């Protein structure tokens, strides 16, 4: 990639300088290790993967505790295939129900059950403690704003104005 974002075919690449390389390798480490750490905590406290918890939490935050599967795929950044597989597992555990959408029979709704809401609520405190320890406290009060800005900029570069994302204003 060139500095202006073009693929630069036929043009020499602009290599990362030492500071940029350090940032890139640090980010890569976080991308690889953080999901594993979150999975471990949630497996221990709720017998859920991080993705399963995220899916249930996104539904729990909805006033109706329901989203169309396509909307849920967008807010969790999952393919419909992966989402269907995980939803089937959660249904088997009594944490989620799927049903035909009354207004559009082509769509399927996902609804978190009372049992699912209770599991999310019971595991939320330990999950937040883990997030605080691994992310918030690690970057400190001054780093929260800059890391947030940086992550939002990366998300926008990956998906400019596209799919919904896990933002505070996404409800």
What pLDDT is stored for residue 149 in this prediction?
93
Residue 21 lies in a domain: no
- Could you tell me the pTM of the whole model? 0.82
What pLDDT is stored for residue 162 in this prediction?
62
The total number of structural domains that make up the chain: 1
Pull the structure tokens for residue 118: 């209770």
Which residues of the chain are under the pLDDT cut of 70? 1-10, 162-171
Pull the structure tokens for residue 162: 């596209």
What pLDDT is stored for residue 168 in this prediction?
41
The enclosing domain of 137 has a CATH number of 1.10.10.10
Residue 61 lies in a domain: yes
Residue 9 lies in a domain: no
Residue 18 lies in a domain: no
Residue 125 lies in a domain: yes
Residue 129 lies in a domain: yes
Domain that holds residue 97: 37-158
Q: Give the span between the Cα atoms of 170 and 63, in whole angstroms.
A: 13
Q: Give the span between the Cα atoms of 75 and 111, in whole angstroms.
A: 15
Q: Give the span between the Cα atoms of 170 and 149, in whole angstroms.
A: 17
Residue 132 lies in a domain: yes
Helix (H) or strand (E) holding 68: strand 66-68
What pLDDT is stored for residue 122 in this prediction?
96
Residue 4 lies in a domain: no
What pLDDT is stored for residue 9 in this prediction?
65
Q: Would you say 122 and 107 are in contact if contact means Cβ atoms under 8 Å apart?
A: no
């Amino acid at each position: 990639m060139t500095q202006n974002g073009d693929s630069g075919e036929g043009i020499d690449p602009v290599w990362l300088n030492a500071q940029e390389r350090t940032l890139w390798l640090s980010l890569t480490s976080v991308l690889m290790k953080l999901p594993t750490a979150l999975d471990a905590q949630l497996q221990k406290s709720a017998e859920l993967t991080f993705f399963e918890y995220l899916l249930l939490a996104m539904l729990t935050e909805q006033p109706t505790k329901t989203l169309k599967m396509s909307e849920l795929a967008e807010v969790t950044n999952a393919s419909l295939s992966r989402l269907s597989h995980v939803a089937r597992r959660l249904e088997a555990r009594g944490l989620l129900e799927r049903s035909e959408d009354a207004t559009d029979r082509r769509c399927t709704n996902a609804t978190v059950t009372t049992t699912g809401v209770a599991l999310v609520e019971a595991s939320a405190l330990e999950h937040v403690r883990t997030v605080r320890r691994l992310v918030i406290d690690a970057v400190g009060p001054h780093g929260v704003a800059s890391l947030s800005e940086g992550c939002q900029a990366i998300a926008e570069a990956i998906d400019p104005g596209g799919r919904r994302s896990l933002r505070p204003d996404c409800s």
